[in-house]
Each structure stands twice: as structure tokens, then as C-alpha cells.
């Protein structure tokens, strides 16, 4: 658990470098710490600046995208140890990116999605980074701050919204159809289980999963069965998978049979773990989860604030890899998708989001 002293330190340092406040713990990392008590404007992250943009090629389709809280930008890379060939900052629809968190790649349509937390919206781009549209996470007159974004095999966009400014009303999950118009609002939403809904994922059958800070305390994993996705007034169900120190990025990898993979974040550790479950159940639920062998990431950078979003994708050798946004190390890491030693892919200051193209998740 995160101590009250830690939270007070984060509040006091909201407009200064974060590194001096990350005390860590023996039980887990600090999921959400950089934004947990942040005001609406995130400024002064001097310890987490983004990479230099370099010279952008005239035509570039990045293979790995990463978000940066330090520079309020999203970077597209084609190769490891390289400068980004695309940098997204804005303005888009009149607003520059402000605390971009999770990223997602959709295959139908072929778009990149950015959870633009402090602007209460999802920003949509082509694979080359051209602006397509903005999706508002406001319901009626109530704004919600998107932390997680994911895309179903049918193109439905799912969103996990945190508790507003972490001091106000609880978050929710929201859904948009692939044909949603610019500036449109959600067509489906659900509450329950969570005070702050965070990272999300869809599986092969379009069941929806989300993790985050539970109303009862600690971190949980919730879900909506596929027939309840994109409907109004739904209730997120508790998966019953336990109460981890910190659940983080989640995904359902292609080539697997209806599985869910969820990261954990352990502070000051040279190993990190990805937990796996088989998923089954009828279209209206309830879903059941069966434990599968976990993946252990080794040679991991030792910091107090490590794993955030995870994204499986093809490595430089064509073998499936796992990419990890490591906030504490200011690096996107790369390692075998089933566990093993990780290496640095590219430096991205204050990174919390990562997505790969072609995507290797549903």
C-alpha cells in the first residue's frame, strides 16, 4: 500500500520534479503516483523530459508509440535506440496534449488512440500520426479523465476514467463505436467496483476488462461481458482475482485462447511479473478466470516506480516481444513476450503509455 506520507509528498511536489518523492515499498510500486494527486495542470516535471524529436521523415509509419508526461507528447519510433520519426503534441481541435497516458492501436479502423487525461478526451490519429478526430469523455455536464484506452476486435473504443483529480467523484468506463463523430460523447458506460478505473483491454470475444483503485481499497480487476459492452447504465463486475499491490497495464495477446494478462509493479526490484488467466463464460456473464503460468521479466531496472502500460508486439527479429513503459527508468523496455531479460528500446522521459504496430493484442 502507498503510505499517507508518500501521498503528502506527491501533493507537495505537484509542480516540481517527482523523483525525490518516490519512496517505494516492499509490497509494490506506485501505480498512478505521478498523477495520483496532481492538479488539473501537470507542470514542472523536470526529471522526465521527452526525447529530442530529431528530423522527421516525410513518410513514417512507426512500429512503437510511447507517451511522455514530461513533455506532454506522444512519440513514434521505427527502430530501437533512435530518435522518433513522429512527435504528437498538438494543438488538435484547439488543444495541445495535456498528460497523455495510455495508448492503443486499432486494426479496424487502423488508428492510434491517445488517452488525453487533462483534456477529458480520447484523441484519434492515423498510423502515421495525422489527426482524425477527438472523442469527448464528458457525460452530460460531468467530465471524466481518461487513464486507459483500448480497442475491441469490432473497433469499439473502451476507456477507463480515474476519479476526477483524485479528490472528487469516482471514475467510470465508457465506450464509443468506431463510427463515432468528432467531439461525440460515449454511447455506453458503466460504474461499480472502482474509485479510479485505469488500464483496460478487450479479448478475442470482445469481453472488456479494466483494473484500478477499488472502492473498497487496494487494486482490483473488473470486467463487462461482451453483451453488456457499449450499453448505458451498466455495472462493472468484480473478477475475484484478488487484491494485488498494484495491477498495471493489461492485454489479451493474439494467438492465445481467450486469455487475460495483467502486469504488476514492484518497487525497487530487478524482476517484475505478468499474471495470466484463461477466460470463459457466456455472452451475458458471469465470466470465470483460471490461473495460468505467470511471466517473469528479469534484468529489470531497479526504481521505485516502474511498470505502467504493457504492449505485446513483433520484435526486431520478428519474434513476439513485450514492450513496457517504465516511468521510473524513463525508458520503453523490450523483452520476450513470455518472460525473460528486458533491454532498453528507447529513452522516453516520464513514459506511462506504449502501443505497437502491428498490434499483437485484441
Please count the other Cβ atoms lying within 10 Å of the Cβ belonging to residue 325. Answer: 29
Residues in the chain: 362
- What is the greatest pairwise CA distance in the chain? 51
The whole-model pTM stands at: 0.88
Name the nearest CA neighbour of 251 among 151, 184, 348: 151
Three-state SS for the chain is CCCHHHHHHHHHCCCCCCHHHCCCCCCCCCCCHHHHCCCCCCCCCCCCCCCCCCCCCCCCCCCEEEEECCCCEEEEECCCCCCCCEEECCCECCECCCCEEEEEEEECCEEEEEEEHHHCEEEEEECCCCEEEEEECCECCECCEEEEEEECCCCCEEEEEECHHHCCCCCCEEEECCCCCCCECCCEEEECCEEEEEEEEECCCCCEEEEEEECCCCEEEEEECHHHCCCCCEECEECCCCCECCEEEEECECCCCCEEEEEECCCCCCCEEEEEEEEECCCCCCCEEEEEEEEEEECCCCCCCCEEEEEEEECCCCCEEEEEEECCCCEEEEEECCCEECEEEEECCCEEEEEECCECEC
List, in order, residues 6 or more apart from 71 with CB less than 8 Å away. Answer: 49, 50, 89, 349, 350
Provide φ and ψ at 310, rounded to 5°: -120, 145
The pLDDT of residue 59 is 74
Q: Using CA of residue 284, residue 170, residue 65, residue 10, what is the dihedral sign?
A: negative
Give the CATH H-level superfamily of domain 48-356: TolB, C-terminal domain (2.120.10.30)
**Is the CB of residue 175 less than 8 Å from the CB of residue 156?**
yes
Domain ranges for the chain: 48-356
Instruction: Please give the chain's pLDDT, 362 residues, in tens.
Output: 333 223 223 322 322 332 223 333 333 334 344 444 333 333 333 334 567 544 445 579 999 999 999 999 999 999 999 999 999 999 999 999 999 999 999 998 999 999 999 999 999 999 999 999 999 999 999 999 999 999 999 999 999 999 999 999 999 999 999 999 999 999 999 999 999 999 999 999 999 999 999 999 899 999 999 999 999 999 999 999 977 778 999 999 987 779 999 999 999 999 999 999 999 999 999 999 999 999 999 999 999 999 999 999 976 666 689 999 999 999 999 999 999 999 999 999 999 999 999 888 88
CA atoms of 313 and 207, how far apart (whole Å): 21
CA atoms of 226 and 342, how far apart (whole Å): 34
List, in order, residues 6 or more apart from 307 with CB less than 8 Å away. Answer: 29, 248, 249, 263, 264, 265, 272, 324, 325, 326
Query: Dihedral angle at the C-alpha atoms of 338, 341, 346, 349, nearest 10 degrees?
Result: 100
CA atoms of 95 and 190, how far apart (whole Å): 27
Q: Which residues pair with 278 in a beta bridge?
A: 259, 290
Amino acid at each position: 500500500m502507498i503510505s499517507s506520507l508518500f501521498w503528502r509528498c506527491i501533493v507537495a511536489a505537484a509542480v516540481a520534479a517527482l523523483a525525490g518523492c518516490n519512496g517505494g515499498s516492499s509490497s509494490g510500486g506506485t501505480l498512478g503516483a505521478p498523477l495520483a494527486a496532481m492538479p488539473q495542470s501537470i507542470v514542472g516535471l523536470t526529471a522526465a523530459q521527452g526525447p529530442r524529436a530529431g528530423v522527421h521523415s516525410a513518410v513514417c509509419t512507426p512500429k512503437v508509440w510511447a507517451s511522455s508526461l514530461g513533455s506532454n507528447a506522444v512519440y513514434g519510433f521505427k527502430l530501437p535506440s533512435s530518435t522518433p520519426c513522429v512527435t504528437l503534441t498538438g494543438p488538435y481541435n484547439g488543444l495541445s496534449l495535456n498528460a497523455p497516458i495510455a495508448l492503443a492501436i486499432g486494426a479496424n479502423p487502423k488508428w492510434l488512440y491517445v488517452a488525453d487525461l487533462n483534456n477529458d478526451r480520447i484523441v484519434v490519429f492515423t498510423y502515421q500520426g495525422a489527426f482524425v478526430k477527438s472523442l469527448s469523455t464528458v457525460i452530460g455536464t460531468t467530465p471524466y479523465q481518461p487513464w486507459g484506452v483500448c480497442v475491441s476486435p469490432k473497433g469499439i473504443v473502451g476507456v477507463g476514467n480515474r476519479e476526477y483529480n483524485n479528490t472528487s467523484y469516482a471514475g467510470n468506463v465508457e465506450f464509443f463505436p468506431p463510427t463515432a463523430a468528432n467531439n461525440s460523447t460515449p454511447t455506453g458506460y458503466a460504474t461499480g467496483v472502482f474509485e479510479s478505473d485505469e488500464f483496460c483491454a478487450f479479448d478475442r470475444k470482445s469481453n472488456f476488462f479494466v483494473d484500478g483503485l477499488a472502492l473498497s481499497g487496494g487494486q482490483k480487476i473488473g470486467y463487462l461481458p461482451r453483451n453488456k459492452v457499449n450499453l448505458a447504465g451498466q455495472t462493472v463486475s468484480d473478477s475475484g482475482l484478488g487484491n494485488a499491490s498494484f495491477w498495471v497495464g493489461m492485454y489479451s495477446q493474439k494467438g492465445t485462447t481467450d486469455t487475460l494478462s495483467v502486469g504488476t509493479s514492484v518497487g525497487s526490484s530487478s524482476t517484475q511479473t505478468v499474471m495470466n488467466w484463461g477466460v470463459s463464460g457466456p455472452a451475458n456473464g458471469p465470466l470465470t478466470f483460471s490461473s495460468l503460468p505467470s511471466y517473469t521479466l528479469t534484468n529489470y531496472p531497479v526504481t521505485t516506480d516502474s511498470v505502467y502500460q504493457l504492449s505485446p508486439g513483433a520484435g526486431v527479429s520478428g519474434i513476439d516481444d513485450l514492450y513496457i513503459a517504465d516511468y521510473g527508468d524513463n525508458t520503453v523496455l523490450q523483452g520476450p513476450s513470455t518472460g525473460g531479460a528486458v533491454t532498453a528500446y528507447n529513452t522516453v522521459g516520464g513514459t506511462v503509455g506504449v502501443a505497437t504496430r502491428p498490434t499483437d493484442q485484441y
